[in-house]
Chain A
Amino acid sequence: MYEIVAREDFSDQTFLLEVRHPMLAKAAQAGQFVITQSHEHGERIPLTIADFSKENGTITLVIQAVGKTTKEMQADCQVGASLFAMVGPMGIPSHISEDVKKVVLVGGGLGVAPIFPQLRAFKEKGAYVIAIIGFRNKELIFWDDKYKQYCDEYIVCTDDGSAGIHGLVTQGIEQVISKHDDIDELIAIGPPIMMKFCAETTRPHQLKTIVSLNPLMVDGTGMCGGCRVKVGGKMKFGCVEGPDFDGHQVDFDELMNRLGRFKADEKIALENWQKHRENCRLMNTEPEE
């Protein structure tokens, strides 16, 4: 059992959990993820390690409630409760090269959380760090302070213009590229469509672009092949050969199609769960699993 020691809600959709696992906190490196199972009958879902503290022996997850599993976690994962399972760190750690002197980190929406460990790692290696973060509106922004602490430049983009640049992160990227001609690498994490457009934006500039892919997973150990993605025309297993890949080589359309594999099942699962919760609320009883 893995105890939840802290929780913070960024919005009605996004929340943070700090989970105790000293060994994992010690081993974790930027770019890696865990697979959690909130209860014994629950699904195994991958979540990026958004932060880790070797001193406290905890890791931080930032979760967006999008379907049955994550909404249920939003409802049930309170401080003091425990996760049934948590395994990791999984995936090949991001390559934080000394040779990268100037780096751009692009986080879209929730992607702001998983990209943070890389941002910090580059800063600690002495790189000049530019962060571009994108949200729908000002209210959704989180980790402002955390970012400012490690960034040399911090650029906010919002869809509605309520903060920073009025527009998408790709506009932020254009702006940064026109200002700096010595960027060594760009890293983008966010929804697949965002990563795709980031890669398209940097392609003409031949700027090395790394993306962190989020295919559906089951085991995360290289045993099921559910997480396969196409990179440079070759099949790769996201969990053991990724999650970081060269953004210019990734077949994003295939990834997006494969993310819809279980759409019908997911919808039913969510509806059933919401009905079940509603009934329990009406009857004023604890939901049973």
Chain B
Amino acid sequence: MAEPLLRTRFPRGAVVPIIAAAIWWLASSTDLLSGPMAVSPWQVIQTPFLDASGRELWGALLASILRVFAGGLLGGVAGLILGYVAGMYRAAGLGLAPTIHTVRQVALFAWIPLLTAWFGNGEGTKLVFTALSAFFPLFLATEQGIRQVPRPLAEVAETLALRPTTRILRLYLPAALPNIYVGLQIAALSAWIGTIGAEYAIGNGRGLGSYIASARDQFRMDIVIIGVFALAAGGVLLAAAIRLATSKLSPWNREI
């Protein structure tokens, strides 16, 4: 009986990466992979600890995380508020939503030339770009969530003569929360991609994106690869943090 238990504990998702790493390791140790661009797994693992420019990874990662939080908060709050207004009031919904839905169709990275023209080649553009990438998912999710508030519950608010603030805090926000949570997860990942993308495209300052960009310019494949790993790890951590926070925030959905 113990055996199937053990078997289920082995993370099946790890099989493909382990096989890929093994092939990579074999290829580089048998000189199948060679040339200036070839690096071994061991080299890549050592880079962030032993190499002088490799060690900058940590600072870059921290800078990107701070940026994704600052920009994400900015855009997320804006998306939440505008999404609430658009979902709640017919006039606002009719006036606001078509514009936002149209603007959303513009590929995110097409904004970079405009944004750099408006906000310069520095922190401002990166923040605005991150905010923009968090804004759309949260706007959409909140708008939908508010629209889907069950009519029967809204009628109760009517018969109990609830005050407007109570309606927002006790009815509309909690009812829209499942949608907002999904929007938040999409927004977090979108903001992370936005942050890295903006750093990469603008190329200056501290951050994972510019870190990878400059490593590429110097043909440092070990740094590029560890940078990509850090990027993936950052995304996974961000998603996990959001999931944890959201499950803590809705106790009524927990099991009895």
Q: Do A and B bind each other?
A: no
A contact residues vs B (CB 8 Å cutoff): none
